[in-house]
Every structure is written in C-alpha cells, then in structure tokens.
Structure 1
Amino acid sequence: MLSMSSQFPILVAIIPLMAAPVCALLRGRNAPWAFTTIASAFAFYVSLQLLLTVASSGPISYELGGWAPPWGIEYVVDLLSGFLLVLISGISTGVLLFARESVVKEIPTSQLGLFFAAYLLALTGMLGICITGDAFNVFVFLEIMSLSSYALIAMGERTDKRALTAAFQYLIIGTVGATFYLIGVGLIYMMTGTLNIADIAARFPEIEGTRPILAAAGFIVIGLAIKLALFPFHVWLPNSYTYAPSIITAFFAGTATKVGVYLLIRFIFTVFGVNYSFTGLELTDILLPLAVLGFLSMSAVAIYQTNIKRLLAYSSVAQLGYMILGLALASESGLTASIVHIFNHAIVKTGLFLSVGCMFYVVGSNYLKDLDGIGRRMPITTFGFVLGGLGLIGVPLTPGFISKWYLVVAALEKGSFIGYGLVALLMVSSLLAVIYIWRVVEVAYFRDPPDGAEKEEAPMSLLVPTWLFILGSFYFGIETSFSVGMAKAAAAFLMGGA
C-alpha cells in the first residue's frame, strides 16, 4: 500500500482542484474562507515536504495512472519547481489570513463561495504549472489559472466598475499569449512526437537547427513574455492589479507573473538548452534590451501615477525586468540572481499590496489624493509600507539589496563595457524607485489629514498577515541561506543539466 507521502506530487495540485467545487457550494461569510485557507495550508505543507525531499534525495518523478513517461503524463519536482511550489502556496496561505475581513468589503457575501472557488482554481493552475512535466499539461494548467484569474479580477466591480474592462483586456491579451504558446508546443510535437518535457529535451539536439523548431521557440518565448507581462507586453497588468480586489492583487503580484518567469526559465534552460537559446536563438540580444527598457521606463512611469496600486503595478513590471536581466546574462550567476529575485520580490510586493489593502479597508480609496496624512491616521500600516518600499529600492538588510547584489555580480562577470553599463543602469533604476516610494512617503507624512479624519488602524486580522510579510522580507534580507542557497543549487542544476 502506497504511503500518503508518495502521493504528495499529485496531492499538491489535486487538493485545491477538488476543493474548488465544494467551496462553490458553501454559503455564509466564514465557511468558504476557512475551507479555502485549510486547502491552501495543506498545499503549503505538502510543498515543503516535497522541497525537503528533493533537497536531500534529488528530483522526484511521479507517473499518473500507472503510465510510464513519456507515454503518460509525468509530474516532476526538482529544486526549481519545488522552490516555486513553496513560494506560491506559502504566499497564498498568508494572503488568505488577510482575506477574512478584507474580502467582505469588496465581494458580496452571496458570491464568497464562488470567489474562493475561483481562487482555489487559480492556485491549482499555478501549482500545476510548476509540477507538471508535460508541455501540453502546462497549457491546461495555464488556462485554469487564467480563466479563474479573469473572473477574480472582474469581481472587483463592486468597488470599481473598471474591473470588468481590466478583466476583459487581460482575457484578450492572455488568450493571445496562450495561443502563441500552444502553437509552439504543437510545432515541437510535430517534430519530436512527444509532449514530455524531459523527452523533448533529449531529442532536441537532433532537430534544433530546423525551421519549425525556430518558429516554435519564437512562439513559446513571445507567448510566455505576454503571460509574464514583460515590457512591452505588459499592458494588461496595470489595470488588472489596480481594479482587482485587494487580496487578489496581493496574491497575483506575488505569484502569477513569477509562474511566467519560471516557465521561461524552464524552456530556455531545460528544453532548448543554453547553447541553442543564447547562440542559436541569440536570446540575450532580445531579452537584455527588453529587460533594461522595462526596469527603466516602468520605474519612470510609476513616478507619475496617482493611484497607489497602479504605482506598485508599474513597479512590478520594472522588477520583472530585473528577473529577465539575470536570465538574459546566460550565466550561472545571472540565473541565480533571477531565481533569488523571484522569491524576494514576491515576499516584498505581497507585503506592500497588503499594506495598501489595509489603507483601502479604512479609507475606501487607493488614490494618493485621498491618502493625505495617512501616516498619522494609520501609523502602523504606513510604517509597514515604508519598510516594504525600502525592499523595492534595495536598501541593505532588505531582500531587494540581496537581489541587486547578485545582479551586479552577474553583470560584472561580463567584464566589458556592457557589464559596467548594466551596473550603472541598475543604480539609475534604484534611484527611480526612491522617487516613486518617496511620493507615497510625502503624501503620508508631509501632508495634513483631511478635516475630521480620525486615527484608525485596520483590524489585527489584516495587520498581522501584512506584517508577517514585511518582517519576513527583512528576515530573508539578512538570513539568505534558504533563498540564495536554493537559488544557487537550482541554477547549478539547470546549467549543469543543460
């Protein structure tokens, strides 16, 4: 008889998937939330166990239905996928602790069952993408994540009718990205006769010079660039983050785009291989300029935003530029920096968006003009936001500093004008981050509160999970053995395997 632990690879995705229809039937204010939180916490526990097993014993392969790969669907957990599983399920569980009070203000009680069911489906999609070893199965989970995401964003219409427009825009652009990916996978299947990622990688050297494979790589890279909101394919993201319910913005900011980056890393380093990706396809010449333009231009655009959620949304696009920059450097140090920043940015940005969610809970607005003097009205919440902002800037002792340090090291390894130029541009981007974070600080602390405004903090049920992420970000800015250790090991595995 098989032990439960041997079934963890399937349980991590199947539990939230099976919990979703049950959650849709639940009624009331607390039952759907509690059920969703339990399912997410179980996924987090299973993810931790999988990562510990992989770290001690090596990658795990799980055959579905008794069909051996490559004939059957295979789930694979290695260091990178295990790392992402822990990150996604951990952020999901932390955000759900925030959700019990905040979601009632933004979602009608009669729709809470459906809301949390869609949340569980989005979680299922993200976890499934990270664990599946089948290229078409990736598309299936990608669609599960995307379709539920459209619904979750649209549910923000209670506080802003523009949520429907944002969801529709995301649907159109997201469908284009998914279609591009599917076309690429179809071309690869035509040339290899397999959908198993490991099997494709083994056969790839025989066909890498053919035109169908060149077209397939182009379709997949562009499709994933759209999905992860890489500049200039980012147009769907600002509105989606701005008008979605607070917990959805926090959840997606910490997870959804990171899944897209994960897929890009997986295909470039596992399927295509380093030599073909950066010599045959010359991806550095494509991705590096887009990454630099992204973190410079989007940081500049963030400065001029009047909505704090939109400001942080453009900041997220800029931070994605850092992740792609590390990937584009085509080195173990660069890949390490990219993976480290996936983790660090997820923790920091989730804490920042939860801080904004606290402000919205009390003030009822995300516009800077309505947040005058918020530092005196909500001192604990605002101080948390400022600390999170330091992480975006990259101040020492914050995770942002760790990420940028490894990016600088990877850039300097280039040892040329390009390397030193990248370091200078990273410094410029950090200065731009100082400006847009300072805009919030100026509004919060250097403007008087509106007449009659009283000092009022968000409930403890909102403050505790917010500060959990804020303090957690500082912990990972000081104690880096987990984040950097896992990133280095995953990067070495991917580069060695390639």
Structure 2
Amino acid sequence: MIGSDIPALIPATYIFFAILIPVVAFWNRKVVRHLSLLGSGIATFFSAWGFMNIIQTGETIRYAFGGWAPPIGIEFVYDGLAAFIVLVINTVAFLVLIHSKLISDREFPGKKMAFYAISMLLMLGFNGMVLTGDLFNLYVFLEISSLSSYALIGIGSKRAPFSAFRYLIIGTVGGSLYLLGVGFLYTVTGTLNIIDMHAMLPQVIGHSSVVAALILMLVGVGVKAALFPLHGWLPDSYTFASSTSSALIAPIGTKVAAYILLRIVLFLFGVELIDHQLPITTIIGIFAGIGILYGSVMAIAQSELKKMLAYSSVSQIGYIIMGISLANPFGFIGAVLHVLNHALMKALLFLVSGSLRLKEGHSLITKFNNSYRKKYPWTMAAFTTAAISMVGLPPLAGFFSKWYLALGTIENSNWILLAVILISSLLNAVYFFRILEKVYLNDPEAETSDETDVAERNEVSASMMFPMAVMAIGLLLVGIFNAYIVNVIFTMFPAGF
C-alpha cells in the first residue's frame, strides 16, 4: 500500500531527481529547472497526501528499511509532527523553485545544473532529518543538508564563497559536537533508536556521559539552528548567497534544526528528566530571549534588505526556541505554529528581495522610494503582508504564534519573556515600517518632481508573482483558520503534556 511507504517515497523522490538532473543535463541543460520543479512537486504531493492520511487516521507510520526492525535496523517515523513539518518545508521549497527562473538566468547562469541538483540534495537532507527515528542516521542527513547548504551559499556574490567557508567551519564543529553526544548516549544505552533510547534514559539519566551528551547535542544542533550566540555564520551567509539560495535555506534550514531541538528536549529526554539534572529549559529560554532582542536591534541597524532579513531570522528563530523552553502546551503550540508562519513570512520576504534585485539591481533600503508602489504594486503588497505578519498584527498568521507564546509565558509566570515578545514586536515594527514609509508615503523633503508621476509599472513576471501571491494569501488563511491548525497541533503533543 503506497500510503504506508510515504516516509520512504519523499526522500527517495529527491534522491532520484538529484541523480537525474546532472544526467539529463548532458543532453539538455534547459530542462534542469523543470526537473527540479517536478521533483519538489512530487515530494510536496506525497507530503500533502501523507499529512491528510495522518489527520484522518491518527496513525503513526513506521517504515523499517530493508525489513530490519529497530533497534537493529533504521526506521523512519512519520507521526503528526513530522508530517506537518515535512509538508511545510516541501511546499515552501516548491514555491521558491517556481520563483527562481529569471533569477537563475541572471545570478548564476552557468551553474544552473549544479544549483538545482544540489537543491534536491538539500531537501533530501532536511526531509531525512525530520523523518528519521535514528540518532546517527539523523547525523548523516544533517551532513547531507549541511554540505548542500555550503555549496548553495557559495553560489552568490564575490563574498559568498568566504561566507560559505566560514559556515563550513562553524557547521562542522556543530555537527561534530552533535555526533560526540550521540556517541556518549550510545555507550550508555546501547541503542541509537530514539524511541528505545527514550525508554532507557530514566534509568541512566544521572550518568555523567548522558549529561555531557545532552549538552553536546544541544550546542551542536543550536549551531545549525542559529540559536544566539551560535548564530555567527548566518547573517553573511544569507546576505551574500544568491537570492534563490537565501529564499530556499532561510525559511527551512533553521526551522528543521529547531525541530530537532524540540525532538531532543521534549520527545527524547523529556522536560522532567532534563531539568532534574540541569535547568536546560531555563538556559535556552534565556538565550532565546537575548537572541530575539539582539536580532531585532541589529536588523534596525541594516541598510540592505537581505541583511536586515538575515538578522531578523536570528530574532525569529528565538521565538521557536522560546516556545520549546516554556515546556507547556501553549509554548509547544506557539513554537510549532511559528515554524509554519515564519517559513511563509521569511520565504516571501526573501522572494520580494530577489524580485527587487532582479528589477532594480539592488535591495538597498536607502534607495527605496515611493515610485516602488507604482512600479511594483503587487510585489510591494506581498511585502506589506509579510511585514505586517512579522510585526504580529491580526488577522495575519504572525499574530497567533506570538499570542500562544505570550500565553505560554503567562502560564509559567515568566514576565521577562513576555516583555521580550512585546518589545521585539515593537522593534519589528520599526525596521519594517521604515520601508513601508519610504514606499507608500511621499517624502516632504524630496524634489517637487515626484518620481511616482513618471514611474511606469514594471512588475515581475507571472511565474515570479505566483509563489509570492500564494504565500501572501497563505499568511492570511493561516491567520483566519488558526483555530483549526491549533486543533491539529494538539494531536502532536509529546507524552506527558
């Protein structure tokens, strides 16, 4: 039955097209983008099919590779949370690749085959990290996604290779720390299967190797998630990569890493076991709060849109980590909902940035003016939708994830983190509304010959506008139907919640 094979079909699709693209490129390089769209489209279809099946039946699918049952064999676990995350990341990737045609012609014309093939490997790694039920297998997929990320970031401006190399150094350290932690856990428990290890940990939680493993794994994955202060690789990587690379990696990469943190803290160890040894949830909550404010302040200081969005990502990932640290149902809902919301918001914002770079040759905020509202009315409408959602104004999606996070802080009587949410929303308004002011309001100090009067509509093509429109409408629909989505998230709670 195909439904039971969904956990294997999704990554297998990406493997197939990662191999097919360079083979076909020997005969016809013009079709490589179409093949990547076909591959990501099929994976998105399987993701949607599997998610609907999970919603209707509530049954978790466990797929054992080679017929070897765990803990001896490796299995993929396709539960409600994994199905949700997989659907989000594959849908976003599909929309980004639709948008990429004209940008690829301009920003990396001689590297299309490599870009689209590596994009398939990137999504293979991300999907494998979400689906695997084996800690070492997770490391394998982590490295696949990391190596792909380094290559995609390197395809960009002149400073992109240096940014990619720095990310490679930092990311390798992070991956090594995670692997050391897995090794420590294996020496104590004798298993790598997450479900088996969860059952064994209560008996060995006080062992020094387990405590060391927990710290190493959290720091290692924290690097990949860009958790403050482990975020140093992120701003330049997102800024100097090609527009499509940034739009592909930024909304997905750190969210998958945050998902792994959620799995480790809430599903593998459990809050009670963790906090019995170390106040881990308090510690990561403190770093998340600092990261939210730091990223927001640094975003205000930027004059380039992509770099502003990069620092904004440091701030936004803090919201997800904050939800994990709250360790209560409201925090869990807020974290998972913000994975969806931020994936849509940040992908849309980077797509707008790429569109403006294509048309204007830059994305410098200092050069934005009120002619943009006439030249790019729909592009700027999409940007405005994402910006208002990022600030957290109803009825758009961003409001509701922040609302549940705020409820989580109130339930824990954590008034400091509640203040962080409120202050950061005001800071978000500062760095987004300054752009909206330039675009939609006339500058009283400008010359009398208003550029808007002579500007002609120069909107992007339909193939670029379509994914931006879908994401903008998606932000509105997620906000309107947030109650239904929250009810679905309720079914994903870890045991003991």
TM-score norm. by structure 2 comes to: 0.94
1:97-136 matched pairs, under 5 angstroms: 97-108=98-109, 110-136=110-136
- Are the aligned partners of 2:118 and 2:148 in contact in 1 as well (CA < 8 Å)? yes
| 1:34 equivalent in structure 2 | 34
Describe the shift of the 1:375–1:180 C-alpha distance in structure 2 as closer, same or farther (beyond 3 A).
same
- Are the aligned partners of 1:134 and 1:195 in contact in 2 as well (CA < 8 Å)? yes
Q: Counterparts of 1:86 and 1:75 in 2: how far apart (Å)?
A: 16
| 1:478 equivalent in structure 2 | 480
Unaligned runs of 5+ in 1: none
Q: Deviations over 1:415-462 (max 9, x none)?
A: x3xx23332221111100000002212332345659986541111111
- Are the aligned partners of 1:284 and 1:329 in contact in 2 as well (CA < 8 Å)? yes
- Measured on the aligned residues, the alpha-carbon RMSD in Å equals 1.7
Q: Does 1:167 align with 2:164?
A: yes
Q: Counterparts of 1:237 and 1:316 in 2: how far apart (Å)?
A: 9
| 2:446 equivalent in structure 1 | none
Which has the higher mean CA deviation after the structures are superposed, 234-243 or 454-463? Answer: 454-463
Describe the shift of the 1:482–1:15 C-alpha distance in structure 2 as closer, same or farther (beyond 3 A).
farther
Which of 212, 222, 226 lines up with 1:225 in the alignment? 222
Q: What displacement does 1:478 show?
A: 0.9
Report SS of the residue matched to 1:483.
helix
TM-score norm. by structure 1 comes to: 0.94
- Are the aligned partners of 2:123 and 2:145 in contact in 1 as well (CA < 8 Å)? yes
| 1:153 equivalent in structure 2 | 153
| 2:264 equivalent in structure 1 | 267
| 1:295 equivalent in structure 2 | 292
Q: Counterparts of 2:183 and 2:136 in 1: how far apart (Å)?
A: 9
| 2:81 equivalent in structure 1 | 80
1:417-496 matched pairs, under 5 angstroms: 419-445=414-440, 446-447=442-443, 449=451, 454-491=456-493, 494-496=494-496
1:270-289 matched pairs, under 5 angstroms: 270-289=267-286
| 1:393 equivalent in structure 2 | 391
Q: Deviations over 1:145-181 (max 9, x none)?
A: 010111111111xxx2011111111111111110010
| 2:10 equivalent in structure 1 | 12
Code of the residue aligned with 2:434 in structure 1: it is R
| 2:232 equivalent in structure 1 | 235
Q: What displacement does 1:371 show?
A: 2.9
Q: Counterparts of 1:449 and 1:163 in 2: how far apart (Å)?
A: 34
- Are the aligned partners of 2:374 and 2:452 in contact in 1 as well (CA < 8 Å)? no
Q: Counterparts of 1:449 and 1:69 in 2: how far apart (Å)?
A: 66
Q: What displacement does 1:375 show?
A: 2.7
1:348-387 matched pairs, under 5 angstroms: 348-373=345-370, 374-387=372-385
- Are the aligned partners of 1:376 and 1:444 in contact in 2 as well (CA < 8 Å)? no
Code of the residue aligned with 1:239 in structure 2: it is D
Q: Deviations over 1:317-337 (max 9, x none)?
A: 101111111111111221111
Report SS of the residue matched to 1:490.
coil
Code of the residue aligned with 1:439 in structure 2: it is R
Q: Counterparts of 1:171 and 1:375 in 2: how far apart (Å)?
A: 40
Q: What displacement does 1:29 show?
A: 5.6
Code of the residue aligned with 1:376 in structure 2: it is K
| 1:215 equivalent in structure 2 | 212
Describe the shift of the 1:395–1:29 C-alpha distance in structure 2 as closer, same or farther (beyond 3 A).
farther
Describe the shift of the 1:449–1:197 C-alpha distance in structure 2 as closer, same or farther (beyond 3 A).
farther
Q: Does 1:203 align with 2:205?
A: no
- Are the aligned partners of 2:333 and 2:401 in contact in 1 as well (CA < 8 Å)? no
Q: Counterparts of 2:251 and 2:153 in 1: how far apart (Å)?
A: 15
Which has the higher mean CA deviation after the structures are superposed, 367-376 or 424-433? Answer: 367-376
Count of residues in correspondence between the two structures: 486
Q: What displacement does 1:361 show?
A: 1.2
- Are the aligned partners of 2:218 and 2:261 in contact in 1 as well (CA < 8 Å)? yes
> Percent identity, aligned pairs only?
37
- Are the aligned partners of 1:278 and 1:330 in contact in 2 as well (CA < 8 Å)? no
Q: Counterparts of 2:428 and 2:4 in 1: how far apart (Å)?
A: 45
Which has the higher mean CA deviation after the structures are superposed, 448-457 or 461-470? Answer: 448-457
Code of the residue aligned with 2:485 in structure 1: it is S
Code of the residue aligned with 1:246 in structure 2: it is S
Which has the higher mean CA deviation after the structures are superposed, 172-181 or 269-278? Answer: 269-278
Unaligned runs of 5+ in 2: 444-449
